[in-house]
Structure formats: C-alpha cells, structure tokens
C-alpha cells in the first residue's frame, strides 16, 4: 500500500516537530492555562461573588472553551506564517519535496494537516487541564477537540496560502496584531457577542473564531444542538475549502513555476 503524498509531507513535519514542540506547549497549553487561571478563576470569583453568570454559566466554564478555540487559532496562525516562509524561501525544504513524487498541492495539504493536528493535540492537553480546573461540566466536552482543530484549520488553510505568496515576513507581525489579536477579543471568547454593539455583531459571525468558540463551548457545556453545530462546522469547512483553493494555486506558483 502506498502512503498518500500529503501524508508523507505531514510525517516530515511531525519529525521536525519533535524539535519544536516546546513552542507549541506554550501556544496551545501554557498561554491559555495562564489566562484560565487569571481570568477564569480571578475574574470568575468576582463575578460569582455577585451571584452573576455569563451566558448562563459560571464564568470559568464560559471562558475555558473560548480560550481553547482562541489558542487553536493563535497557534495555528503563527505556525502557518513563519514556517511556510522557511519552507519556500529561507531553508527551502518545500523545494526539496517537489523534486520527488510529491506535488505542490501535497506540500500544502500535508502542511495544513500537520498544523491542524498539532492544534488538536494542544487542545486535548488544554482540555484535560481545564477539566481538572472544573471548567468542563459535560462529557460531550471531548467534542471540543475536533471543534478546536477545525477552528485551527480554518485559519491554517488561508494563512498557509497567504504565506506562500509573500517574499518576506514583514506582513506577518501585522497579521498577528491587527488580524488575529482583535478576533481574539471580539469573537465571544471572553464575553458573549450579544454584549457587542449591534453593528459589530454581524462581523463576529464572519469571524471563524466565533464559530470555533461556539462549537467548543456548546460541547464543553453539553449544550450542543446538531442543527446549530452543523452551521458552525459548515462555516469553518468553508474557510478551509476557500483557503485550500488559494493554497493549491499559491504553492504551485511558488514551487513549480
């Protein structure tokens, strides 16, 4: 049996990854756990003292799935920018791949796949920690893992495509600060989007992170409804599909001109 071409790429990324796992532990686990401790417990305590809930839940329970999806987004975004530039321009390993049976589209697929898998693995660890914190009341919470992975994919797919079109990494910090960070704040991570001014709310629906956050939250709180879930999954899959269409073109242009 032959190994699918994209899987050969993903296997390479996994191998490289054995050297870089520490940075992901920070992005996918340490950073959201710190937030969870500071905001979920600290701020949560204050909210609890006022006998208030957020979105119908204790604040810790509300914020944990938000942090999980947001970490998946942030980690996947960073992993889809600089490492792609390394593959196309700095170290050029992608060029080595396409000299073998692997095609540019396989390099793209394999890379996005491994980024997504990494985010999924990180989300799994975070979920365990959050459960230990008492932030995951429902066993359905396990479905937040594919939810976070899908959210990661929705960012990895278009950003990996974008990174392959770039000649330098100058735009990357801008994307992280002006694209990713604001999404982190307005996608229902820390408070329900119903708190946002009316005119911004529709924008939140356009944010892939919001769909990821809602999926994760509905899972960890055990309030998942198939119809709703399907809409959010469809939105994230649409981002992945659109990103992939661009990515296949961008990688082909970059690697097989």
Partner 1 sequence: MPVACTFVTTAPPLIVARGLEKRFGASVAVDGIDVHVEAGEAFGFLGPNGAGKTSTMRMIGCVSPRSGGELSVLGFDPATDGPQIRARLGVVPQEDTLDLELTVRENVLIYGRYFDLPRAAIRTRADELLEFVQLTDRSNDRVDNLSGGMKRRLTIARALVNRPDLVLLDEPTTGLDPQARHLVWDRLYRLKRQGATLVLTTHYMDEAEQLCDRLVIMDAGRIVAEGSPRQLIEKHATREVVELRFRSESVQHAALPRLHAIGARIEELADRVLLYTNTGEADVERLQADGLETETLLIRRASLEDVFLTLTGRTLEE
State yes or no: residue 22 binds partner 1 (CB under 8 A).
no
State yes or no: residue 211 binds partner 1 (CB under 8 A).
no
State yes or no: residue 157 binds partner 1 (CB under 8 A).
no
State yes or no: residue 95 binds partner 1 (CB under 8 A).
yes
**Within 10 Å of residue 142's Cβ, how many Cβ atoms?**
14
Q: What values do phi and psi take at 61, rounded to 5?
A: -70, -35
State yes or no: residue 118 binds partner 1 (CB under 8 A).
no
Is the Cβ of residue 51 or residue 257 nearer to partner 1 in the bound state? 257
Give the shortest CB-103-to-partner 1 separation in angstroms: 6
- In the list 54, 68, 77, 102, the residue contacting partner 1 (rule: CB under 8 A) is 102
Within residues 68-87, the interface with partner 1 by CB under 8 A covers: none
35-43, 58-66, 96-104, 236-244 -> range binding partner 1 (CB under 8 A)? 96-104
Is the Cβ of residue 92 or residue 177 nearer to partner 1 in the bound state? 92
Instruction: Name the residue among 143, 113, 115, 116 with its Cα closest to residue 127.
Output: 143
51-59, 88-96, 165-173, 237-245 -> range binding partner 1 (CB under 8 A)? 88-96
Give the shortest CB-11-to-partner 1 separation in angstroms: 6
Q: What values do phi and psi take at 57, rounded to 5?
A: -130, 160
State yes or no: residue 100 binds partner 1 (CB under 8 A).
yes
Is the Cβ of residue 95 or residue 249 nearer to partner 1 in the bound state? 95
Is the Cβ of residue 15 or residue 49 nearer to partner 1 in the bound state? 15
- Report how many residues bind partner 1 under the rule CB under 8 A: 25
State yes or no: residue 15 binds partner 1 (CB under 8 A).
yes
- In the list 12, 217, 232, 244, the residue contacting partner 1 (rule: CB under 8 A) is 12
Give the shortest CB-5-to-partner 1 separation in angstroms: 7
What angle do helix axes 59-79 and 104-132 make, rounded to 10 degrees? 160
Residue numbers of the site for partner 1 (CB under 8 A)? Answer: 2-3, 5, 8-9, 11-12, 15-16, 19, 91-93, 95-103, 255-257
């Amino acid at each position: 049996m032959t190994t699918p071409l994209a899987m050969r790429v993903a296997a390479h990324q996994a191998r490289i990854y054995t050297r870089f796992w520490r940075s992901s532990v920070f992005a996918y686990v340490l950073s959201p756990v710190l937030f969870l401790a500071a905001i979920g417990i600290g701020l949560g305590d204050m909210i609890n003292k006022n006998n208030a809930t957020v979105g119908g839940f204790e604040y810790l329970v509300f914020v944990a799935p938000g942090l999980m999806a947001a970490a998946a987004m942030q980690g996947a975004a960073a992993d889809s920018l600089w490492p792609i530039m390394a593959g196309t321009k700095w170290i050029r390993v992608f060029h080595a791949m396409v000299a073998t049976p692997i095609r540019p589209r396989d390099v793209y697929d394999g890379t996005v796949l491994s980024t997504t898998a990494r985010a999924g693995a990180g989300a799994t660890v975070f979920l365990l920690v959050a459960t230990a914190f008492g932030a995951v009341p429902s066993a359905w919470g396990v479905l937040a893992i594919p939810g976070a992975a899908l959210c990661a994919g929705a960012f990895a797919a278009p950003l990996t495509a974008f990174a392959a079109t770039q000649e330098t990494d100058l735009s990357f910090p801008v994307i992280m600060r002006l694209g990713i960070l604001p999404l982190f704040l307005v996608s229902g991570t820390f408070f329900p989007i119903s708190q946002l001014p009316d005119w911004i709310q529709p924008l939140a629906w356009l944010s892939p992170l919001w769909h990821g956050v809602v999926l994760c939250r509905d899972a960890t709180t055990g309030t998942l409804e198939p119809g709703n879930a399907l809409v959010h999954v469809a939105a994230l899959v649409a981002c992945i599909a659109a990103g992939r269409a661009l990515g296949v073109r961008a990688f082909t242009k970059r690697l097989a001109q």
